[in-house]
Structure 1
Amino acid sequence: MSDIKTIEGVYAAFGRRDLAAVLSTMDPAVTFVQAAPLPWGGTYHGVEGVQTFLTRLLSHLDPQVTTEALYSSGDHVVQIGRTRGRVLGNGKDFDLPEVHIWRLANTKIVSYQVHTDVPALLELLT
């Protein structure tokens, strides 16, 4: 399976909220990074760390990711898209551009970085 197909599968599984399928694509030493000011932000290590990240994220937001483009270069896949959804605490809708940077080794995800409009997200959470 190509790295792009792996990442497409991750987004499809996340869209179904099939977190077991998402976690099955992770290398045991995976690292997830999201901007620290967000309630679910920080650096998470290992599959358990990814599970913690996803649990925290989904306790604040009901997000859906729309992929506009996927690019593969070496062991990286870059996703450009939008995150849309609702803030669970206050019902506010959001639609923000984002970029996700994935790194894979032997078809397993070894790192993930999220880049989005953090000030806009923080404002939405208030």
Structure 2
Amino acid sequence: MTPAILRSLIARRPSPPAAAPCHILEGNISEHVLAAVERLYTGLGKADIEQVLELFDPEVEIVTPESLPWSTGHYRGLEGAAEYFGNALRYLAETGFVVDEIRVSDEWVAAIGTWNGRFRSSGGEFSVRFVHFWTLRNGRIIKGEGIAETHGIVHAHRMT
């Protein structure tokens, strides 16, 4: 598998902007780690919660900023992950990620890029930088932690 799919991942955007090339840095990325990351961002890009959950360990831990309008900050297990992503999709009419860089270690991946979205209720749009850390064990994601410029997201949510 190639990282090509990571170069232009924007989902559900009527006019997607051109994505910057994705650079894989630091370390030797194994094929199974790359394949998992590709499937993850493909699933996120299509808002396909089932595809995303297939990549997670049953005891997955998801940590997100509590300032996100749909987030309580900490989720455990497949049910918790489904709750987080389901809540996000209830709030967002459009969402997508442009992954600019992938940084890897033996068991973790950091994806760095831009997150775009539009809220259902307000119509407010955002485009913010993000870093996602994904810890993998035996090809399954056991932990995901997202860091983003939430000020832009909150502002877009509050627009009337």
TM-score normalised by structure 2 residue count: 0.75
Is residue 83–residue 97 contact of structure 1 (8 Å, CA) maintained in 2? yes
Residue equivalent to 1:60: 91
CA distance in 2, matches of 1:99, 1:122: 17
2:36 is aligned with what amino acid? T
CA distance in 2, matches of 1:94, 1:14: 17
Residue 63 of structure 2 is aligned to residue 33 of structure 1: yes
Residue equivalent to 2:111: 79
2:33 is aligned with what amino acid? D
Q: Aligned residues, how many?
A: 126
2:81 is aligned with what amino acid? V
CA distance in 1, matches of 2:82, 2:157: 22
CA distance in 1, matches of 2:126, 2:110: 22
Q: 2:52 aligns with which of 14, 19, 22?
A: 22
Secondary structure, counterpart of 1:38 in structure 2: coil
Q: CA RMSD in A?
A: 1.1
Unaligned runs of 5+ in 1: none
Task: Give 1:39 shift.
Answer: 2.3
Give aligned-pair identity as a percent. Answer: 27
* Deviations, residues 67-119 of structure 1 (Å, cap 9, x unaligned): 11111112110000111121111111211111100000000000001110122
Computing the radius of gyration from Cα coordinates, the structure with the larger value is: 2
Residue 97 of structure 2 is aligned to residue 49 of structure 1: no
Is residue 90–residue 125 contact of structure 1 (8 Å, CA) maintained in 2? yes
Residue equivalent to 2:27: none
Task: Give 1:14 shift.
Answer: 1.7
CA distance in 1, matches of 2:89, 2:107: 28
TM-score normalised by structure 1 residue count: 0.94
Tell me which moved more, 58-67 or 47-56: 58-67
Q: 1:13 aligns with which of 28, 43, 59?
A: 43
Residue equivalent to 2:133: 101
Is residue 60–residue 143 contact of structure 2 (8 Å, CA) maintained in 1? yes
Structure with bigger strand share is: 1
CA distance in 2, matches of 1:85, 1:36: 18
